[in-house]
């Protein structure tokens, strides 16, 4: 729970010294960049690293979280104004650092750093200071070292990962330094463990540090615009918190889940189900769901993943004519993983913090929704000579048109939803037996089917559709490639440019989850 303690007079000198130290860092950074022409990236990352170390020692100098929270709030305000006014350029990302990003994009790392520190002060100070210290230390030190190594000696860039360039050398640095810091911190603070981590063998705690270092590296590799400053400490803090506080989640289960997620990600790259970004996102999602949820949550996700991935590979010759209509191919990227699995991911996290069984049905509802949508598309385009109608007007449209529905596709959507329910029942999910087998099939089946209709509605109304001047076709792609390899921008025909297929899929997943959750919440058994 959020908790801001009362200010204590004895904390004020430390507060004054902390603000003075931060101001000294800022002024020194600006001096080094302006007067001595030292790289702003190097200076900023050194400041970043130093702040991580300073925060690690904050609990040793403050009795209450009031003044640290006030300092974080003031720094948050200062950095927000600095992004707008550009007073201190040494704290802002350089244009060349954003060269791979659209010109309008900015890095908000300097803003997210104090924000995540403030949130952890409010949530963790009273009972889990060590989690705050550990997560902020890894973010401050390891993230900085990864950027410094990657920018100075990094030569091998990782393709198909994120808009910001990432290097193998930088990621290795992130992993190794993170492992050392996590190992040291977990072992030092092990005497403070009072929950699920208490009394665990030294080897298992090292294995946890290894897995968390891999998670932090994956988060850093996937995110740009400074978002890693927020999500690296959040991901570490979340794992440590639930392992300590939720007595239904065991360290052994979490470690095995992380190992299985890693193997699945590697397998997915090998068989070309996913690209590098998709595999990295799948590792993070799988570590959470496999490691936290156990078999009951794992099997439905694997059912969706394996059946939908195999289905997308079938009938490639028949579906080849649609490859340039759809925004992306059958090899999924991180955006598609978030769109299809992001809501399920959130349901798992919420359940781990609340133990509300209604969230399990919401989880099945969102998986049924994305399975229904995937099966509708794959079966609809694979079926011989199908007819499709626009969901809003019922006018006949070419198969593959956004918002188009067909009898084979709709039938496939409902069948796919039932498979999700059957997979959960196959592992004897206890809440489904309490709710009823027939009721569960109806609820999950129709949640998926209706969500696929929602997907079609948004596809027909607000999803962006473009005209490809080279092939003279309607497409979801913003650009087309000419025979000589150059890109041509396609003309927007309808919809909103910001609404792409990934966003529509997310809305579909959300609607399936919301429908299942709403029904279950009105059943007295789970109130």
The predicted structure's pLDDT at residue 317: 52
The predicted structure's pLDDT at residue 523: 76
Q: Which two tokens stand for residue 29?
A: 């950074």
DSSP 96-160: GGGTTS-TT----HHHHHHHHHHHHHHHHTTT-HHHHHHHHHHHHHHHHHHHHHHHHT---BPSS
SS (H, E, C) 36-98: CCCCHHHHHHHHHHHHHHHHHCHHHHCCCCHHHHHHHHHHHHHHHHHHHHCCCHHHCCCHHHH
Same domain, yes or no: 21 and 141: yes
Look at residue 396 and give its three-state secondary structure: strand
Same domain, yes or no: 69 and 170: yes
The predicted structure's pLDDT at residue 108: 82
Domain-embedded: residue 112: yes
Same domain, yes or no: 23 and 168: yes
Rounded distance between C-alpha atoms, residue 466 and residue 483, angstroms: 19
Same domain, yes or no: 151 and 294: no
Same domain, yes or no: 270 and 181: no
Domain-embedded: residue 472: no
Same domain, yes or no: 131 and 11: yes
Same domain, yes or no: 310 and 393: yes
Same domain, yes or no: 216 and 279: no
Domain-embedded: residue 494: no
Same domain, yes or no: 293 and 360: yes
Q: What is the pLDDT of residues 259-270, one digit of tens each?
A: 999 999 999 999
The predicted structure's pLDDT at residue 102: 42
Number of domains, the chain: 2
Domain-embedded: residue 508: yes
The predicted structure's pLDDT at residue 343: 96
**Domain end call among 190, 220, 245:** 245
Look at residue 185 and give its three-state secondary structure: helix
Same domain, yes or no: 205 and 262: no
pTM (predicted TM-score): 0.89
**Domain end call among 245, 280, 300:** 245
**Domain end call among 228, 245, 262:** 245
The predicted structure's pLDDT at residue 459: 84
Domain-embedded: residue 485: no
Domain-embedded: residue 475: no
Which range marks the domain in which residue 19 is found? 1-95+105-245
Domain-embedded: residue 476: no
Please list the residues that pair with 405 across neighbouring strands.
389
Rounded distance between C-alpha atoms, residue 274 and residue 423, angstroms: 23
Same domain, yes or no: 241 and 296: no
Cα angle at 439 between 435 and 442, to 5 degrees? 140
Same domain, yes or no: 432 and 336: yes
Contact 477, 490 (CB under 8 A): yes
Domain-embedded: residue 117: yes
Point out the residues of the chain with pLDDT beneath 70: 93-106, 315-331, 400, 524-527
């Amino acid at each position: 729970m959020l908790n801001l303690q009362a200010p204590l007079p004895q904390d004020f000198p430390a507060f004054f010294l902390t603000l003075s130290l931060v101001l000294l860092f800022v002024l020194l950074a600006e001096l080094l960049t302006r007067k001595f022409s030292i790289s702003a990236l190097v200076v900023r990352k050194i400041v970043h690293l130093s702040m991580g170390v300073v925060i690690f020692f904050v609990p040793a100098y403050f009795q209450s979280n009031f003044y640290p929270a006030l300092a974080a709030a003031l720094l948050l305000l200062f950095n927000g104004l600095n992004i707008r006014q550009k007073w201190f350029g040494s704290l802002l990302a350089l244009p060349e650092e954003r060269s791979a990003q659209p010109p309008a994009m900015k890095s908000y790392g300097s803003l997210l750093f104090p924000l995540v520190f403030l949130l952890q002060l409010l949530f963790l100070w009273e009972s889990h200071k060590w989690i705050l210290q550990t997560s902020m230390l890894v973010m401050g030190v390891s993230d900085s070292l990864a950027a410094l190594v990657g920018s100075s000696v990094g030569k091998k860039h990782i393709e198909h990962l994120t808009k910001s360039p990432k290097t193998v050398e930088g990621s290795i640095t992130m992993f190794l330094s993170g492992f050392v810091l996590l190992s040291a911190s977990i072992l030092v603070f092990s005497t403070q463990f009072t929950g699920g981590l208490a009394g665990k063998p030294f080897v298992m705690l090292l294995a946890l540090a290894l897995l968390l270092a891999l998670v932090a590296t994956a988060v850093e590799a996937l995110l740009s615009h400074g978002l890693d400053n927020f999500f690296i400490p959040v991901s570490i803090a979340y794992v440590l918190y639930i392992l300590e506080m939720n007595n239904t989640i065991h360290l052994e289960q979490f470690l095995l889940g992380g190992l299985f997620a890693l193997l699945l990600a590697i397998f997915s790259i090998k068989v070309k189900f996913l690209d590098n970004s998709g595999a990295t996102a799948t590792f993070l999602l799988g570590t959470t769901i496999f490691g936290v949820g156990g078999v009951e949550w794992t099997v439905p996700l694997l059912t969706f993943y394996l059946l939908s991935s195999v289905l997308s590979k079938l009938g490639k010759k028949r579906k080849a004519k649609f490859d340039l209509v759809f925004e992306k191919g059958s090899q999924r990227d991180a955006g598609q993983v978030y769109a299809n699995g992001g809501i399920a991911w959130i349901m798992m996290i919420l359940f781990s913090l609340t133990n509300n069984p209604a969230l399990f049905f919401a989880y099945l509802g969102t998986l049924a929704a994305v399975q229904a949508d995937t099966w509708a598309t794959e079966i609809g385009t694979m079926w011989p000579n199908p007819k499709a109608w626009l969901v809003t007007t019922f006018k006949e449209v070419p198969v593959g048109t956004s918002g188009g529905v067909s009898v084979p596709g709709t039938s496939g959507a409902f069948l796919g939803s039932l498979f999700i329910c059957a997979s959960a029942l196959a592992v004897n999910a206890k809440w489904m037996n309490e709710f009823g087998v027939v009721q569960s099939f109806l609820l999950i089946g129709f949640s998926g089917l209706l969500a696929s209709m929602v997907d079609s509605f948004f596809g027909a109304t607000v999803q962006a559709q473009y005209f490809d001047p080279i092939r003279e076709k309607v497409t979801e792609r913003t650009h087309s490639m000419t025979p000589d390899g150059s890109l041509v921008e396609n003309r927007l025909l309808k919809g909103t440019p910001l609404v792409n297929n990934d966003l529509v899929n997310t809305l579909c997943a959300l609607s399936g989850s919301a429908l299942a959750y709403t029904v279950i919440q009105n059943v007295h058994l789970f109130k």
